[in-house]
Amino acid sequence: MHPIVIRFGRLGDMLLLAPLLNRLRRGYGKPCVLLGTGPFSVPLYTAHPDVACVVQVTARHRPLAFSPQRWRMLQVLRAHRDSAVHVCETEPRALAKIRRMLALAGTRPEHCVFVTDAPIVPDEHWIERLLRGCGHAPSACIDGWRDPAVPDDLAPRLHLRETDRRDRDVWLQARGWRGEPIWLVQPFNKRSMRWNGPRDETDDDKAWPAQNWIAVLRALHADHPDARIVLCGTPNEAPLLEAIAADTRTGNVDVAARELPLRRLMALAEIAGGMLSVDTGPAHVAAALGCPLVVLYGAQPASLWVARSPGDSAVVALGGPPGRSRVGEIAADEVVAAFRTLPARGLPHAA
């Protein structure tokens, strides 16, 4: 039977599961069934050799009785009640829902392993915590487990299809791209916007003033005058990004937020010369696809969450505890100096 992996996290949380998914696939000999959150889990793990299928919920906190997506998860758990279940969730509210689903599905405790059962190790990166806490078979499934002979890969890997590359190149060419270098910039994070507009910067530890982004974009253009700079984000962030692009006044800044589904972002990261980002999911995506990047951290320690690249491409982490607790404490000059240390990457090519 396929092992079940459960995590109700955000984009970066789901991506950090990748090394564990690889270990479980090698240990059980079959790819995983992933129960996660959407809308990003399905595109993130499309065509991934360690994942057999993804079942996702788009509303993490909707009660089971009112969530057809959770009913689907319950059906999957019942169909795999003899499989190993690896629960990678730590948030108490989500964990309580998972335990109720497991009980309703008739999944026995000896078929389950919970990452929360392993003691926390100070300053341990989340990837190592997941491998240590969930990277082994539960007691009822030991006979179907073989310890992988090859050491674990400690960085996530993502997999693109040729259709993703063709979509990227057609989209770029429609925007006037002729093969020039590309840089990606991600100024905002999930907490940047409320339902009724931008969140106050004092209420977002990852907020960085617009004038800082403008200064960095101008410096990036000065260093790479032929490059196309692509501002990434979600559709509701587009007006803020368009204001930053307009005030930069360099003419080479594109706002892609209204036309950037996850698979297209992944394909862009595969060919980008580099990325500047606050600590958010797209930064992890870029690192997983070998894109050199600079990441700005707020209240979360980089030691726990720093993006990792399977090809050892450069990831420069700025800010974060113990020295700083807000991205706003990072100077623009510091970011400029950091991106100038990133090694050159091969030029992009059209499909």
Cα 280 to Cα 91: distance, rounded to the nearest angstrom: 18
* Residue-level pLDDT, tens digit, the chain, 351 residues: 899 999 999 999 999 999 999 999 999 999 999 999 989 999 999 999 999 999 999 877 777 777 888 889 999 999 999 999 999 999 999 999 999 999 999 999 999 999 999 999 999 999 999 999 999 999 999 999 999 988 999 999 999 999 999 999 999 999 999 999 999 999 998 766 555 556 666 678 999 999 999 999 999 999 999 999 999 999 999 999 999 999 999 989 999 999 999 999 999 999 999 999 999 999 999 999 999 999 999 999 999 999 999 988 899 999 999 999 999 999 999 999 999 999 998 654 444
Angle between helices 18-28 and 126-134 (to 10 degrees): 30
Cα 228 to Cα 230: distance, rounded to the nearest angstrom: 6
Domains along the chain with CATH numbers: 4-144 (3.40.50.2000), 162-339 (3.40.50.2000)
Model pTM greater than 0.85? yes
Degrees (nearest 5) of the Cα angle 243, 206, 332? 65
Lookup: tokens for 284:
């992890």
Residue 58: CB atoms within 10 Å = 12
Residue 53: CB atoms within 10 Å = 13
Backbone φ and ψ for 126, nearest 5 degrees, come out as -60, -35
